[in-house]
């Protein structure tokens, strides 16, 4: 088996005096989509932030493309080809949609073909191109946040709850976009509460519980195992939604 | 007994205990040990500034807020007594009226500023207090009819506090027992009581809440403490004690002017005292005040010697000019914030463990 | 940026309200010119401070030191070039003022760089220590100024061509104030263009809103911050030089004095907002001059009153910066 694009080994993270992650271990294979699942407070967001260098790991290794990136500064991690969509979306409200995307395109003006592709998935962004992003609706902000991460090709996308607050039609577009991305250039690590969405998209799964990864494996196998879901998530995927 | 007086907040360091005993006893016998007007003046200033710095520590060290308006309250207390003595004559009733008026104004103003700006961030409060204090200082100098303007007020103290007053027409250990001595012991006793009161405040349940808020305001709020209310009460107490310190100064010096009570220089002095002495320890304010008043009065002499020695060297001599003592304390201040955030007291306590 | 004209309308509103109170229209014009000049000078000094706060949550209480340094450096250069200052030739006068101002900006900027490294950097994210350490920096800087330039104030006469006033009928407008207004507007325009039309400006605006996300997009915000800090210090130096010429005296305390006005202005404007800082500075300048004329006794109190009123209306300042 090829070396995974991203692998975490024994990652521990403290926030203030609180120990949040106690030795997280899992892999994100190259060209796949890994779903990071778990109950609220299990440490999913902290895991993404630790990978991104926004929290410092106090122990352990975060290997990306064969190199330990734990301890690197956030901008340097981003420059290795990792993009991050936080749960809060963190769009720049005073900047226009255009300015948000211009900023995200680090290497120059955004590529028109790529923009057209993004517009085809997220039509609203084209409509509100020159509007301050703060005026967008919640769903539109989410589209912008994702668009910002994919405006240029990146090797790994870290996405925290992309479907939160989205209308079903937009979720469909989002699923299409993520499929195209993973079939093409990128690998994805997605935190998700929407299990229908997770089951449709995920190739592999890592389930967190209390600051650790309690289960890893293929999404298909996990989706079929009701008892395991019940045990780790407190609910079956079928009955959710 | 000692434990009760100190509100169970012991020095927790042998050297600190020694220093504190030296200060308390030293100030008590100062008039006899170091007779003379200058040394008595230095001793009284030390007493007043210990109170002032300790009340500032309640804000800075225990509540975690920076106020640049602390001298304003100091000045309000001083001017309260000064104006009352000027207007109502050199009577004890005038003193009482002045003290009470100063207290009321100081507490009301502190409450107003607190409710207005303490709900936001530390930085905001610091900026607003700075603006208000500077406006107040200018206001005081703009109202000469009331405050005497830039020159301030000169007034007569009640008869019992004047040099001409003789106590039991005698001398003790060669020192004349006059009104100045009475005045000094009045200042000394009042200062001692006020510091012990502050010690009680910070070691009360109220003090613990303040420290909890300082450590983590969001958490304290989540547990159910209204942080704005607690911080405002703390700043009112601090303002009240600062005003009393001001009243004591006015009662000591028989003159009150903007430079000695309201100026930003005094504010800087208090900051230095608390930070160098040790924030959040109360005892730090005591050590810091002693150190700084000494430095003001005697570091100059020391620098003067260095200055003489370096007379030929252009810039270096300037650095050691007697008037540049604040430069060196400023450097010490910065180093303290970086390397000894708990100041002298913290360092003394750490030695033990 | 959202279009929010109300605060902007306050400026003419204050001017119009002041007209009947001042009484004489000619005095009103003079006062308005003085207010605009004062406001723009404060804006020049305050703009960098508000941006560094917005970008990194750092408030430099020692900002006044750069103002004072600028004033002293400019004064030294102008005194050295005094023959050119006293000649009645605008060009020679400017040939003295120009290098003086430039030197002020360079020295303040370099000091800003050092200040950021030594004083500010170790206390990022810790407000209490930040306030203390930068205040300590101000204390030390003020003392060092006295060591270098002596404890006494320096008298600094304006160059010949900038003395006196333009007379338009009955109305007299001091020449130097016109120059101050022009310089202030140029600085404002340059800042506005940089912020709204350049990539650096885009980064700064984004960083003010959410610095963490800017880093996650791959930009090193610290470097940006150092740049802004240095530029802000240089602008403070420029403002200090202008202020020194305006007052015609320079003292070590100038920094701390003006810093109070600067703080009031950035609170009024909304911490982090350059536009708000601009409006706030003009409001402070105008109201200080009008009230100084109408009721001189309460002039400085007027700033506090203005601040209180504006905070009652908008508790986060005129243009609150959207924060994460």
Say if residue A240's pLDDT is above 50.
no
Answer with the residue of higher pLDDT: B54 or A2: B54
Tell the residue number behind the tokens 């908008």, with chain if given: C314
pLDDT band at B169 (very low <50, low <70, confident <90, very high): low
Interface residue ranges in chain A relative to chain C, Cβ cutoff 8 Å: 52, 54, 73-75, 78-79, 83-84, 86, 88, 90, 92-95, 99, 102-104, 106, 132, 134, 148
**What letter would DSSP give residue C158?**
P
Q: Please, which residues bridge with residue B208 across strands?
A: none
What per-residue confidence (pLDDT) applies to A235? 63
What per-residue confidence (pLDDT) applies to B166? 74
CA distance B337 to chain C (A): 7
- Radius of gyration (C-alpha) of chain B in whole angstroms: 21
Q: Which domain holds residue C47?
A: 6-313
Chain segment B183-231, per-residue pLDDT in tens: 999 999 999 999 999 999 999 999 999 999 888 888 888 888 888 899 9
Asked if the Cβ–Cβ distance from B338 to C133 is below 8 Å, we say yes
Q: Does residue C1 lie within any of the structural domains?
A: no
Q: Does residue A36 lie within any of the structural domains?
A: yes
- Using a CB-CB distance cutoff of 8 angstroms, which residues of chain B are in contact with residue C251? none
Interface test with B, best of C68, C126, C131, C148 (most B CBs within 10 A): C131
Tally of structural domains, chain A: 1
What per-residue confidence (pLDDT) applies to B352? 55
DSSP string across B159-206: GGGSTT-EEEEEEETTEEEEHHHHHHHHHHHHHHHHHHHHHHHHTSHH
What per-residue confidence (pLDDT) applies to B161? 81
Handedness of CA B332, B335, B339, B340 (dihedral sign): positive
B333 contacts chain C (CB < 8 A):
yes
Chain segment C128-159, per-residue pLDDT in tens: 888 899 999 999 999 999 989 988 889 988 88
> Looking at residues A24-30, what average pLDDT do you find?
93
Chain segment B273-304, per-residue pLDDT in tens: 999 999 999 999 999 999 998 888 777 778 77
Neighbours of A217 (CB within 10 A): 13
pLDDT band at B149 (very low <50, low <70, confident <90, very high): confident
pLDDT band at B11 (very low <50, low <70, confident <90, very high): confident
Asked if the Cβ–Cβ distance from A74 to C206 is below 8 Å, we say no
Which tokens is A204 given? 């592999």
Chain segment C224-253, per-residue pLDDT in tens: 999 999 999 999 999 999 999 998 999 988
Asked if the Cβ–Cβ distance from C139 to B324 is below 8 Å, we say no
Asked if the Cβ–Cβ distance from A92 to C213 is below 8 Å, we say yes
Q: Which domain holds residue A33?
A: 6-92+155-233
> Looking at residues B1-28, what average pLDDT do you find?
84
Asked if the Cβ–Cβ distance from B337 to C133 is below 8 Å, we say yes
Average pLDDT, rounded, for chain C: 90
> Looking at residues B263-276, what average pLDDT do you find?
91
B300 contacts chain C (CB < 8 A):
no
Chain segment B119-138, per-residue pLDDT in tens: 767 788 888 898 889 888 88
pLDDT band at B162 (very low <50, low <70, confident <90, very high): confident
- Give the whole-angstrom CA distance, residue A149 versus residue A122: 13
DSSP string across chain A: -PPPSEEEEEEEEEETTEEEEEEEEEEE-TT-EEEEEE-TTSSHHHHHHHHTTSS-EEEEEEEETTEE-TTS-HHHHHHTTEEEE-TT----TTSBHHHHHHHH-TTSSPPHHHHHHHHHH-HHHHHTTTSBGGGS-HHHHHHHHHHHHHSS--SEEEEE-TTTT--HHHHHHHHHHHHHHHHTT-EEEEE-S-HHHHHHH-SEEEEEETTEEEEEEEHHHHHH-HHHHHHHHSS-TTT--
- Give the whole-angstrom CA distance, residue C188 versus residue C207: 20
Say if residue A236's pLDDT is above 70.
no
**What letter would DSSP give residue C151?**
S
Say if residue C16's pLDDT is above 80.
yes
Q: Which of B38-52, B145-159, C43-57 has the lowest mean pLDDT?
A: B145-159
- Using a CB-CB distance cutoff of 8 angstroms, which residues of chain C are in contact with residue B331? 140
> Looking at residues B60-74, what average pLDDT do you find?
92
What per-residue confidence (pLDDT) applies to C323? 56
Say if residue C322's pLDDT is above 70.
no
Chain segment A62-79, per-residue pLDDT in tens: 999 989 999 899 999 999
Chain segment A107-155, per-residue pLDDT in tens: 888 899 999 999 998 889 999 999 999 999 888 999 999 999 999 999 9
Tally of structural domains, chain C: 1
What per-residue confidence (pLDDT) applies to B353? 53
Q: Quick one: what percent of chain C has pLDDT higher than 90?
A: 53
Q: Which of A161-170, A197-206, B79-88, C18-27 has the lowest mean pLDDT?
A: A161-170
CA distance C115 to chain B (A): 12
What per-residue confidence (pLDDT) applies to C324? 41
Q: Does residue A163 lie within any of the structural domains?
A: yes
Tell the residue number behind the tokens 């028989």, with chain if given: B254
Say if residue C2's pLDDT is above 60.
no
Q: What is the dihedral of CA B88, B89, B91, B92, to 10 degrees?
A: 40
Which CATH number belongs to the domain containing residue A11 in this structure?
A: 3.40.50.300
Task: State ipTM.
Answer: 0.91
Specify the CATH architecture of the domain B2-352. Orthogonal Bundle (1.10)
A&C contacts, CB < 8 Å:
65
- Give the whole-angstrom CA distance, residue B185 versus residue B48: 12
What per-residue confidence (pLDDT) applies to C214? 95
Chain segment C154-180, per-residue pLDDT in tens: 998 888 888 888 888 888 889 999 999
Asked if the Cβ–Cβ distance from B127 to C263 is below 8 Å, we say yes
- Which of B264, B246, B255 lies closest to B105, judged by CA? B246
Q: Is the pTM of this model over 0.95?
A: no
Say if residue B55's pLDDT is above 90.
yes
What per-residue confidence (pLDDT) applies to B45? 93
Which CATH number belongs to the domain containing residue C262 in this structure?
A: 1.10.3470
Q: Does residue C257 lie within any of the structural domains?
A: yes
Give per-residue burial for A15-29: e unless 16+ CB within 10 Å, then b.
eeeeebbbebebbbb
Asked if the Cβ–Cβ distance from B139 to C300 is below 8 Å, we say yes
Q: What are phi and psi of A190, to 5 degrees?
A: -120, 125
Q: What are phi and psi of A164, to 5 degrees?
A: -60, 125
What per-residue confidence (pLDDT) applies to A239? 45
What per-residue confidence (pLDDT) applies to A13? 93
pLDDT band at C257 (very low <50, low <70, confident <90, very high): confident
């Amino acid at each position: 088996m090829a070396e995974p694009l991203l692998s975490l080994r024994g990652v521990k993270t403290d926030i203030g005096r609180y120990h949040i992650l106690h030795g997280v271990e899992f892999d994100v294979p190259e060209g796949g989509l890994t779903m990071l699942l778990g109950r609220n407070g299990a440490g999913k967001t902290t895991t993404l932030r630790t990978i991104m260098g926004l929290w410092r790991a106090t122990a352990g290794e975060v290997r990306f493309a064969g190199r330990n990136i734990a301890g690197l500064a956030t901008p340097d991690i981003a420059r290795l080809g990792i993009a991050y969509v936080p749960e809060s979306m963190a769009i720049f409200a005073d900047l226009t949609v255009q300015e948000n995307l211009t900023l995200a395109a680090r290497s120059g003006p955004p590529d028109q073909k790529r923009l057209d592709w993004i517009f085809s998935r997220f039509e609203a962004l084209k409509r509100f191109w020159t509007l301050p992003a703060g005026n967008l609706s919640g769903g539109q902000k989410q589209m912008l946040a994702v668009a910002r991460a994919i405006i240029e090709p990146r090797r790994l996308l870290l996405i925290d709850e992309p479907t939160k607050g989205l209308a079903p039609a937009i979720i469909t577009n989002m699923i299409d976009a993520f499929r195209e991305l993973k079939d093409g250039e990128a690998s994805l690590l997605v935190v998700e509460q929407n299990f229908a969405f997770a089951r449709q998209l995920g190739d592999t799964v890592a389930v967190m519980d209390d600051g650790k990864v309690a289960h890893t494996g293929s999404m298909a196998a996990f989706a079929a195992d009701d008892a395991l879901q019940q045990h780790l998530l407190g609910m079956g995927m079928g009955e959710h939604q | 007994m000692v434990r009760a007086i100190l509100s169970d907040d012991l020095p927790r360091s042998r050297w600190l205990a020694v220093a504190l005993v030296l200060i308390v006893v030293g100030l008590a016998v100062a008039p006899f040990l170091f007779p003379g007007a200058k040394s008595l003046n230095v001793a009284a200033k030390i007493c007043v500034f210990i109170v002032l710095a300790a009340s500032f520590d309640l804000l800075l060290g225990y509540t975690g807020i920076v106020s640049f308006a602390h001298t304003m309250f100091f000045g309000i207390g001083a001017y309260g007594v000064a104006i009352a003595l000027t207007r109502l004559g050199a009577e004890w009733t005038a003193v009482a009226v002045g003290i009470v008026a100063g207290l009321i104004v100081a507490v009301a103003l502190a409450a107003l500023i607190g409710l207005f700006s303490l709900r936001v961030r530390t930085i905001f409060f610091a900026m607003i207090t700075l603006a208000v204090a500077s406006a107040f200082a200018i206001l005081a100098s703009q109202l000469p009819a009331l405050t005497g303007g830039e020159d301030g007020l000169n007034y007569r103290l009640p008869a019992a506090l004047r040099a001409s007053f003789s106590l039991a027409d005698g001398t003790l250990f060669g020192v004349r027992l006059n009104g100045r001595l009475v005045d000094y012991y009045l200042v000394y006793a009042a200062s001692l009581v006020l510091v012990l009161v502050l010690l009680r405040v910070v070691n009360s349940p109220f003090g613990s809440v303040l420290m909890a808020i300082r450590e983590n305001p969001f958490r304290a709020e989540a547990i159910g403490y209204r942080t704005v209310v607690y911080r405002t009460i703390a700043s009112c107490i601090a303002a009240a004690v600062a005003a009393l310190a001001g009243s004591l100064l006015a009662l000591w010096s028989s003159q009150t002017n903007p430079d000695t009570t309201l100026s930003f220089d005094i504010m800087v002095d208090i900051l230095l005292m608390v930070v160098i002495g040790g924030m959040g320890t109360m005892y730090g304010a005591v050590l810091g005040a002693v150190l700084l008043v000494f430095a003001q009065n005697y570091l100059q002499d020391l620098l003067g010697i260095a200055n003489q020695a370096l007379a030929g060297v252009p810039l270096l001599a300037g650095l050691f000019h007697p008037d540049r003592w604040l430069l060196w304390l400023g450097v010490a201040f910065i180093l303290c914030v970086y390397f000894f955030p708990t100041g002298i007291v913290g360092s003394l306590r750490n030695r033990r463990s | 940026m959202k279009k929010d004209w109300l605060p902007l309308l306050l400026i003419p509103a204050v001017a119009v309200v002041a007209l009947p109170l001042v009484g004489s229209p000619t005095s009103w014009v003079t006062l308005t010119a003085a207010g605009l000049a004062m406001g723009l000078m404060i804006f020049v000094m305050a703009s960098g401070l508000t941006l560094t706060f917005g970008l990194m949550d750092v408030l430099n209480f020692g900002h006044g030191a750069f103002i004072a340094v600028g004033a002293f450096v400019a004064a030294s250069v102008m005194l050295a070039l005094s023959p050119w200052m006293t000649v009645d030739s605008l060009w020679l006068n400017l040939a003295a003022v120009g290098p003086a101002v430039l030197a002020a900006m360079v020295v303040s900027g370099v000091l800003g760089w050092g200040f950021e490294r030594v004083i500010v950097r170790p206390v990022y994210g810790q407000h209490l220590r930040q306030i203390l350490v930068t205040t300590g920096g101000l204390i030390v800087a003020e003392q060092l100024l006295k060591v270098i330039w002596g404890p006494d104030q320096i008298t600094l006469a304006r160059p010949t061509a900038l003395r006196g006033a333009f007379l338009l009928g009955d109305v007299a407008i001091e020449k130097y104030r016109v120059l101050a207004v022009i310089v202030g507007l140029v600085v404002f325009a340059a800042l506005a263009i940089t912020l709204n039309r350049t990539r650096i400006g885009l980064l700064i605006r984004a960083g003010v809103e959410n610095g963490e996300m800017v880093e996650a997009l791959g930009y090193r915000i610290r470097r940006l911050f150092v740049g802004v800090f240095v530029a802000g210090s240089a602008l403070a130096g420029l403002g200090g030089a202008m202020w020194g010429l305006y007052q015609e005296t320079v003292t070590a305390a100038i920094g701390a004095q003006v810093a109070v006005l600067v703080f009031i202005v950035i609170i009024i404007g909304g911490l982090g907002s350059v536009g708000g800082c601009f409006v706030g500075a003009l409001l402070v300048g105008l109201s200080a001059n009008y009230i100084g004329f109408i009721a001189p006794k309460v002039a400085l109190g007027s700033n506090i009153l203005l601040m209180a009123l504006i905070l009652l209306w908008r508790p986060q300042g005129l243009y609150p910066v959207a924060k994460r």
